[in-house]
Amino acid sequence: MRKKLVAGNWKMHKNLTESQALITEIRGIVRDEFRQNDAEIVVCPSALALASSARLVEGSEIQIGAQNVNENKEGAYTGEWSASMLKSAGATHVIIGHSERRQYYNETSEACALKNKAAIAEELTVLYCVGESLEERESNQHFDVIKDQLEKGLEGISSEEMSHVVIAYEPVWAIGTGKTASSEQAQEVHAFIRGLIESKYGLNIAESVRILYGGSVKPDNAKEIFGQPDIDGGLIGGASLKPRDFFEIIKAAR
């Protein structure tokens, strides 16, 4: 049985004070309402707020993730942060290959593979994102695009290391647009991804890897999406900034 996982991606929202207030509010709801066996919870604030957020959730069910990492161990890379820095700040997870990073910062799947390796070497769990654009979906190229992103991004990741990998399928056309993939469309892609993992790593690993769906997940559509056999939770953008909505989505994974 795969344990569901719900991760909140705050993107570039909330200054330090606001981040502390938001994580404190989420922590309060989780403390009062979390049930044993509920989904695993990860919150990904800005890098600036990582360390203080990690301190504020100590002893709770909430884990902290980063939104990016540099592929190098250390060195002259102004403006960057390494996996060991993230770990020392209290992060246990890191989002890699989010479509916004692919689109605005020219991150390729090859670059993501190096980031995935660097993060796993520090025992961080990666949330590796894949997903097609609207144009690719409309021209029926989505399976090829996802296969390419997955194969290149997981290049060099061993079977053992796959226990530190979570995949997030996020169709670009559904991110922040209010449009979600239908649960059938999402399930179809999730099953396809699991099949690709099976052909590379075998059945056991394919059955244990969690594949999250992301793109306009809200309290009112989460239950149906999470009810699909190959959907193991969600990566939540906008709704993760609203503590009550975020927790309703966590509950929908029950």
Q: How far does CA 191 lie from the centroid of its chain? A: 18
Candidates 116-124, 139-147, 151-159, 208-216; binding stretch for ligand PGA (CB under 6 A): 208-216
Give whole-number Cα distances, 88 to 9, 54, 76, 91, 166, in Å: 20, 10, 19, 7, 21
| Structure-token match 């909330």, residue found | 14
Contact at 8 Å (CB) between 128 and 153?
A: yes
Catalytic residue among 98, 107, 142, 190: 98
Q: Residue 168 or 206: which CB sits closer to ligand PGA?
A: 168
Contact at 8 Å (CB) between 134 and 179?
A: no
Q: Which of 175, 193, 225, 252 binds ligand PGA (CB under 6 A)?
A: 175
Contact at 8 Å (CB) between 247 and 221?
A: no
Candidates 77-85, 136-144, 186-194, 215-223; binding stretch for ligand PGA (CB under 6 A): 215-223
Q: Rounded CA gap, 140 and 206, in Å?
A: 25
Q: Which of 238, 246, 247, 250 binds ligand PGA (CB under 6 A)?
A: 238
x/- site string to ligand PGA, residues 9 to 48, per CB under 6 A? x---------------------------------------
Q: Rounded CA gap, 79 and 102, in Å?
A: 18
In the complex, least distance from residue 199 CB atom to ligand PGA, rounded to whole angstroms: 27
Instruction: Check residue 181 for interaction with ligand PGA (CB under 6 A).
Output: no
Q: Residue 11 or 142: which CB sits closer to ligand PGA?
A: 11
Candidates 28-36, 65-73, 76-84, 168-176; binding stretch for ligand PGA (CB under 6 A): 168-176
Q: Give the end-to-end CA distance of the chain in Å, rounded to a whole number.
A: 13
Question: Applying CB under 6 A, which residues contact ligand PGA?
Answer: 9, 170, 175-176, 214-217, 235-239
